[in-house]
Structure 1
Amino acid sequence: MAFSLRRSRLGDGYYKLLRDHLVDPVTRWGLTPNQLSGLSMAVALLVPIGFAVHPFLGTLLMVVSALADSLDGVMARHLGVSSLWGGFVDTVVDQVSDSCYLTGIWLLLWHQPHRLTAMAALVTALVLMLLIGFIRAKSEALRIAAISMPM
């Protein structure tokens, strides 16, 4: 059996918290899950600017973006409107957001004394992030079951 943080007690508690306390207020505001995905990406696009202004602002924007990204899927499942299109949009938003987060961290670390080491780590993270996205897309296209690490 493979380990999944999303299916752990911690993950269950996190998603229950979102479902129980945030889905209804966000639904009352009139936002759909796909609009929430768009909002998540819009905030993610501001993350590099936030880090350029101040590390706290960049971090705050990253947390807000990640929270909205977590909430869109929970909201779609809770409302019974999950779709293949929504899953596709979520995957695209994840890739764009992760790239924005790494760009923001790159801006933050640019003036640090060990920036070459930090840059190497960030480039490695970016390559791995893109590779994981490619592997997932290719495996889904070939209808291969998700690859996971056994525990």
Structure 2
Amino acid sequence: MLSTSGRGFATAVFGPVARLLVRAGVSPDAVTVTGTVAVTAVALWLLPAGHFVVAPLVIAVLVLADSIDGQMARLTGRSTPWGAFLDSTLDRVSDAAIFAGLVLWAVRADDDVTVALALACLVLGSLVPYARARAESLGMSATGGIAERADRLFVVLAAVLAVGLGLPAWVLTVALGLLALASLWTVGQRMAAVYRQSRPGAAAGTRTGAGA
């Protein structure tokens, strides 16, 4: 999910594309699946090969273009729970592919520390949205934190690009380490929020909500 400013930018840039696809009869679900396949292919093809300039730039464009399906759904008035579920689920696939691509690159570079940190980011990046989804399934809210999806993607793609532009590889290693810690902290924040809401006497208004 994009931040408010990111959504505004994406709407301005990709709005005409969304309208064109709607007129062509393309479904929002098809765009969602196509975007996921594209990100996954780029991440698992270019990142392991060390293409650290082209890969993050292409992935960044594709992530911004991820808003097209939502714009199409709003234009057609066909926003559905299935569409929201599909989009959220496939976002996890895209995110996992990015970190898996970095794991493969680090394996080829024989960098065990980066392998471990990229794997940690992959796992923790799945736990952050799971904590929110599980809390909401129990009627509680577990939103926010210092490492939401947009934050994680920005940090990792910026670090990859920086290395691609000539900075040493340890910059990526440090970024992955900080990102892993931030993701772990975010999981802890969300667990603490659910714990507070689950205690006897917790205000009823804190038991529902939505977030990224």
TM range (shorter): 0.7 to 0.9
Counterpart position of 1:100:
97
CA contact (8 A) 2:22 2:76 kept: no
Give the match's secondary structure for 1:22: helix
More deviation in 132-141 or 101-110?
101-110
CA contact (8 A) 1:46 1:61 kept: no
CA contact (8 A) 2:7 2:67 kept: no
The answer to whether structure 1 residue 132 and structure 2 residue 128 are counterparts is yes
**TM-score, normalization by structure 1:** 0.77
AA at the equivalent of 1:142: L
Aligned ranges 1:22-101 → 2 under 5 Å = 22-47=17-42, 48-53=44-49, 55=51, 56=53, 58-59=55-56, 61-101=58-98
The answer to whether structure 1 residue 20 and structure 2 residue 8 are counterparts is no
In angstroms, what is the RMSD of aligned CA positions?
2.7
More deviation in 26-35 or 90-99?
26-35
What is the alpha-carbon distance in structure 1 between the residues aligned to residue 6 and residue 54 of structure 2?
A: 26
Larger RCO (alpha carbons 8 Å, 6+ apart)? 1
Gaps of 5+ in 2: 147-212
The C-alpha deviation readout for 1:4-61, integer Å capped at 9, x for no partner, is: 9623xx2353133145332112323432111111101221331202334551554355
Give the match's secondary structure for 2:3: helix
Give the match's secondary structure for 1:143: coil
Counterpart position of 1:117:
113
The C-alpha deviation readout for 1:91-136, integer Å capped at 9, x for no partner, is: 11011111111112222333336x2221222122112111112112
CA contact (8 A) 1:23 1:75 kept: yes
AA at the equivalent of 2:21: V
Gaps of 5+ in 1: none
CA contact (8 A) 1:44 1:97 kept: yes
What is the alpha-carbon distance in structure 2 between the residues aligned to residue 146 and residue 22 of structure 1?
A: 34
Deviation at 1:69, TM superposition (A): 2.1
Give the match's secondary structure for 1:148: coil
CA contact (8 A) 1:40 1:93 kept: no
